[in-house]
Amino acid sequence: MFEEHDLFILVSASFVQQVYDVTKYLKDHPGGDEVLLSAAGKDATDDFEDVGHSDSARDMLDQYYVGEIDISTIPTKTTYKPPNSNQDK
């Protein structure tokens, strides 16, 4: 059904993240494919809202809708901790 190279973004609606497969929209996105690629696999809500999309752009999302993810099931972000640099001593 989905391919490894498919591009998914998340956009919040209440307490649910809506998932969209925007792979087929990459070449047609007015802001360029870089915008979508930078949001891949992430919560793109702020990016989507900050641009001020029109109602027709919001309606267009419907054709790319895949499903929903309950926000409470998404792991919290962790801070990267580099390995101990004293390993060689």
pLDDT-derived band at 89, boundaries 50, 70, 90: low
14 φ/ψ sector (left φ>0, alpha ψ -120 to 50, else beta): left
Q: Domain ranges in the chain?
A: 8-73
User: Among residues of the chain, what percentage have pLDDT more than 70?
Assistant: 75
Would you state the CATH architecture of domain 8-73? Roll (3.10)
Biggest alpha carbon distance in the chain? Answer: 61
Q: What is the mean pLDDT of the chain?
A: 78
User: Which two three-digit tokens encode residue 71?
Assistant: 């926000």
pTM above 0.85, yes or no: no
Task: State the DSSP H helix or E strand holding residue 13, giving kind and residue range, or none if neither.
Answer: strand 8-13
* Of 72, 52, 53, the residue nearest 61 (C-alpha): 53
Segment 52-88, tens digit of pLDDT: 888 898 888 899 999 888 777 766 665 667 777 665 5
Query: How many secondary structure helices (H) and strands (E) does the chain include?
Result: 3, 3
